């Protein structure tokens, strides 16, 4: 299954994400995206159903079997929703490209908080995604990796 970029930016390897929960692939394999500056929407990276939606993260169940975590920034839970606008609800069935959260990475300016957007395949073996666009600049909806 193809997972698409939920935002535009520069793709980095999961091992380079500045959080051991992600860089050590404890949550699962995937990539990080250093987002472009300015206001943006974070979109669903595939067709699926939203299992959980928080201002800083959401989980999308794809094909009733694969959980995709999109975590908007590192340590952004500390912001308690400030700077994020939730655009979809838990339980919603969405298509790839559906806006889920709006934010402006330029507004994230706190010590220990980063704007890296993580896209992880939950409960999968480390390094089990293929075709990851690491090192590339992606537009919203570009292929990101394959599960």
Give the tokens for residue 128: 């089990």
The pLDDT tens digits along the chain (147 residues) read: 999 999 999 999 999 999 999 999 999 999 999 999 999 999 999 999 999 999 999 999 999 999 999 999 999 988 888 999 999 999 999 999 999 999 999 998 888 899 999 999 999 999 999 999 999 999 999 999 999
- Whole-model pTM: value is 0.96
CA–CA separation, 23 and 15 (whole Å): 4
All domains in the chain, ordered by first residue: 2-146 (2.70.70.10)
CA–CA separation, 123 and 32 (whole Å): 17
CA–CA separation, 44 and 95 (whole Å): 7
Which DSSP symbol is given to 96? T
- Residue 79 has a pLDDT of 87
Catalytic pick among 10, 56, 71, 124: 71
Q: Is 56 a catalytic residue?
A: no
């Amino acid at each position: 299954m193809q997972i698409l970029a939920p935002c535009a930016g520069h793709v980095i390897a999961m091992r380079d994400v500045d959080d051991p929960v992600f860089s050590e692939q404890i949550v699962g394999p995937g990539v990080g995206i250093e987002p472009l500056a300015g206001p943006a929407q974070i979109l669903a990276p595939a067709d699926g159903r939203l299992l959980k939606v928080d201002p800083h993260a959401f989980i999308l169940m794809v094909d009733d079997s694969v959980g995709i975590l999109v975590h908007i920034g590192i340590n952004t839970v500390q912001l308690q929703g400030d700077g994020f606008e939730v655009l979809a609800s838990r339980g919603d069935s969405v298509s790839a490209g559906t806006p889920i959260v709006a934010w402006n990475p330029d507004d994230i300016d706190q010590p220990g908080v980063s704007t890296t957007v993580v896209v992880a395949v939950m409960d999968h073996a480390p390094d089990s995604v293929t075709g990851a666009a690491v090192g590339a600049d992606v537009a919203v909806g570009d292929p990101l990796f394959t599960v």
